Structure 1
Amino acid sequence: MRSKEGDETESRSLPVDLIIEILTKLPPRSLSRLICVSKLWLSIIHGKYFNDLYLTRSSTRPRLLLHRYSHDTRSSHYSSLSKNQLSLVDSVTLPGLQISPPVRGLICCVDHYSSIVVIGNPSTGQFLTLTDVITDQIFFGYDPVNDLYKVLSMNFVHNIDRSVVIEKSQVLTLGGGQESWRMIECKYPYYPGTQGKCHNGVVYYGAWSNLTDRRSVVVCFDLRSEEFSLITLPEDVQIVSYIESDLVSYNGKIALVNVSRNCEFDLWVLMDVKRHEWSKYSVVVPTCDFFRCRGTIETGELIFEQLYFGDQFSILYYHPEQDKARRVDLDRSGDTMSGCRKLFLNHVESPIFLPRKFIH
């Protein structure tokens, strides 16, 4: 058995560039074990340069992330799926139903029963619990300028006339030295109608400015300035409901899509944020009754998930330019869970280790 000094000497005998090259080819769960090899390997794996390099390479092979919620245990299960491996292998189990889409490999979810907010890394199986928060809605994003992850927490109340008042808005910066929730101001009354979608340092989400007539807008939260703004939707375009409406990524842009039950889908793509310019893309997809559009992947294919399911869960790939569709039935062998399911696109494997200072 080698001593720790021997391990350290052996590690240092390899060029650092070669060690980094080897480590970037390994899955994140292996990296979590290799930090014990030596202090050098620990510093490399926890270093910003290595994390950025790993994420850059991982982004060239994005994956699907399937979220499954169990009503029995009130917990969420996440499975990372490649194109060639469409079987369910749980990566991490977290409390809560409401989640934000993955951001650079991390996810955020909230359990309203116990007021627990959790940040998780499905690639490593590690998660942490955020403290001191009671929330109606959680949004999660990444500020690329300052290299910071942030969580936005919102609380709402309704007036007698069904108008909305934001009771409290809070932000927490993950690992940024600001270890408590900070109050911020939002001047716009609204109630969220979709999940959030982080794009270029801004979290976008659909909302209703009034619950009586459901006037629809898109809210923008700039993660760097921590300021809100609103984008108007085209006339007669509405957010239907939290279940049937969503913001997705369409060829690198933000798009609003509503569930269709007749195989016809309209995607309203945000072409210019400042001018509030939208373009309408209509597609007719064969054999997609009761499917929900989740956006596009790097191949240009639109991905649809099965909205209602029994013993089977299916994913539909459709290429608009080629007018070709293929349906993939997920292998659920060994999967005994019943409950909600939702698919997220362009998930990347991340080696990031979450700071212990936020963990109970």
Structure 2
Amino acid sequence: MERGKNMESIPTDLILEIFTRLPSKSVARFRTLSKHWASTLGSPDFKKLFLARSSARPRLLFAVERYRYNEWLFFSSPQPQNKKSLLLDYHTKFSGDVSQYICSYASGLIYFPFVRVIDEDKPLICNPITGMYDGLVVRKYSNSRGFLGFDPIDKQFKVLDFHSVLTLGGSSGEPKWRDKEGIYYAPYHRCSNAGICINGVLYYLVQTVMEPSFVIVRFDVRSEEFKFIVAACLSDHLEQPSGLSLLNFKGKLGVINCNCAYAGGRRTVELCLWVLEDVQTEDWVRYVYTLPQNEVLGSCKFSVAGVTATGDIVLCMRYTCKPYYVFYFNPVKNTLQSVEIQGFGEELETVENRGVVYAFVDYVEDLSLNDAKQLKSSLSEIKSLCSCCQKEGQHNHIGAEV
């Protein structure tokens, strides 16, 4: 039979099913082939189907900040299922004067308050896997880090910057900042901790000015209403609020702190977790866990990445190195699993060129920002020269250019 003759076309439903099983970066590649593919893989039905499929295969997202070089690099790996080692996939690099800011994460996207892409200095929201990004309107006189939130009902992203709100993806033309009353003139200092968005509600930590104490700001992304939650239980950490991390604990707000103590020449790691059980009554419940002894965890700097949907508390090493480990602590079974993460690249693994690691658990690949701009480095073949023989060698993430 002649090629292509009398062959029935593949049903659209089957095509979409096939593409939902591919990584989002592969989908982004196919969208560039033709208008037909762009329309098919950019349709609302496919986005919804792809998101549902991705939710069943959550990943670990690693954002590596190299403030010495003013750049962020993004990697991801599967979340382990009783595995001892995992290999990273490299995705995207963003360059800019970002050392004084912390990126904000919500529903698969990353927000930078100020970063340089190509020749522009502006806030931007990006898909760290596909490299799609969209520059945002600059809010005048703003020194805020800003936070990204997502409304799962209206499927809208919003940026909160002090008392101003920027809605993304609306139908009213170019997005503009809108002032909201209720927080800007309050006597609070915003802490350096990143905010967290849980089920359409954005939380971040502030300190009162007159009588030092912690207050949690609760911002409903959909209604844009503010609520202030007293967090007096965290008063012991007033001098070092950066040691606190906000996390999603089974759909509730959690605040966690790590304490280390030495006994018999060995370091013991203790996790102190406060969970907001009831928002209306502001009822907090405190849990304290002493982690099983682990030689690597007992000798390195680490941070808390979050809590998985299965209830594991995830800790990651603070800096890129070789070997690099992520730790999964199950508070119910009192078990600690070490997983070696491979693939940051030779340069990132050296002490002089290492980066600070921020990890995000249960990362779900999303196809939002499909109509935004594309980083050239995210779809191109990235090559470099081997430093010892000056010959073209293996891929080197640091050599990628935007």
From 129, 146, 152, the equivalent of 1:144 is: 152
1:233 Cα shift? 1.6
Map 1:68-87 onto structure 2 (within 5 A).
68-83=64-79, 86-87=86-87
Output one character per residue of 1:131-176: Cα deviation in whole Å (capped at 9) or x when no partner: 323332210011122111111113xxxxxxxxxxxxxx22111121
> Does the 8 Å contact 1:46/1:353 carry over to 2?
no
CA 1:189–1:46 in 2, change beyond 3 Å: closer, same or farther? Answer: farther
CA 1:297–1:355 in 2, change beyond 3 Å: closer, same or farther? Answer: same
Are 2:340 and 1:344 aligned?
no
> Does the 8 Å contact 1:70/1:338 carry over to 2?
yes
Are 2:309 and 1:298 aligned?
yes
* Residue range with higher mean Cα deviation, 261-270 or 101-110: 101-110
TM-score (norm 1): 0.83
1:312 Cα shift? 4.5
CA 1:53–1:38 in 2, change beyond 3 Å: closer, same or farther? Answer: same
1:309 Cα shift? 7.0
Tell me the secondary structure at the aligned position of residue 366 of structure 2: coil
1:102 Cα shift? 2.9
> Does the 8 Å contact 2:258/2:270 carry over to 1?
no
Cα distance in 1 for residues equivalent to 2:372 and 2:319: 39
Are 2:330 and 1:319 aligned?
yes
Count of matched residue positions in the alignment of Structure 1 and Structure 2: 336
Map 1:125-164 onto structure 2 (within 5 A).
125-133=131-139, 134-154=142-162
Query: 1:247 matched to which residue of 2?
Result: 246
Output one character per residue of 1:48-78: Cα deviation in whole Å (capped at 9) or x when no partner: 2211221122112111111111123211111
Cα distance in 2 for residues equivalent to 1:189 and 1:51: 43
Query: 2:202 matched to which residue of 1?
Result: 203
Cα distance in 1 for residues equivalent to 2:236 and 2:51: 36
Tell me the secondary structure at the aligned position of residue 303 of structure 2: strand
Cα distance in 1 for residues equivalent to 2:69 and 2:202: 30
Q: Which amino acid aligns with 1:334?
A: E
> Does the 8 Å contact 1:260/1:291 carry over to 2?
no
Q: Which amino acid aligns with 1:90?
A: Y
Output one character per residue of 1:14-36: Cα deviation in whole Å (capped at 9) or x when no partner: 32222221121121112122224
Map 1:1-360 onto structure 2 (within 5 A).
13-83=9-79, 86-94=86-94, 95=96, 96-97=98-99, 98-111=101-114, 116-133=122-139, 134-154=142-162, 169-178=163-172, 179-187=175-183, 188-193=186-191, 194-210=193-209, 213-235=211-233, 237-240=235-238, 241-262=240-261, 263-286=269-292, 287=294, 288-289=297-298, 290-307=301-318, 312-331=323-342, 332-336=344-348, 337-356=353-372
Structure 2: state its 5+ residue gaps.
262-268, 376-402
1:348 Cα shift? 0.9
Cα distance in 1 for residues equivalent to 2:197 and 2:211: 27
Tell me the secondary structure at the aligned position of residue 99 of structure 1: coil
* Residue range with higher mean Cα deviation, 58-67 or 326-335: 326-335
1:254 Cα shift? 1.3
Q: Which amino acid aligns with 1:32?
A: A
Query: 1:159 matched to which residue of 2?
Result: none
CA 1:25–1:112 in 2, change beyond 3 Å: closer, same or farther? Answer: closer
> Does the 8 Å contact 2:304/2:315 carry over to 1?
yes
Tell me the secondary structure at the aligned position of residue 154 of structure 2: coil
CA 1:226–1:89 in 2, change beyond 3 Å: closer, same or farther? Answer: same
CA 1:233–1:311 in 2, change beyond 3 Å: closer, same or farther? Answer: same
TM-score (norm 2): 0.75
Output one character per residue of 1:108-146: Cα deviation in whole Å (capped at 9) or x when no partner: 123379963121111211222213233322100111221
Cα distance in 2 for residues equivalent to 1:219 and 1:272: 15
1:205 Cα shift? 0.9
Calculate the aligned-residue CA RMSD, in Å: 2.8
1:43 Cα shift? 2.2
Structure 1: state its 5+ residue gaps.
1-5, 155-168
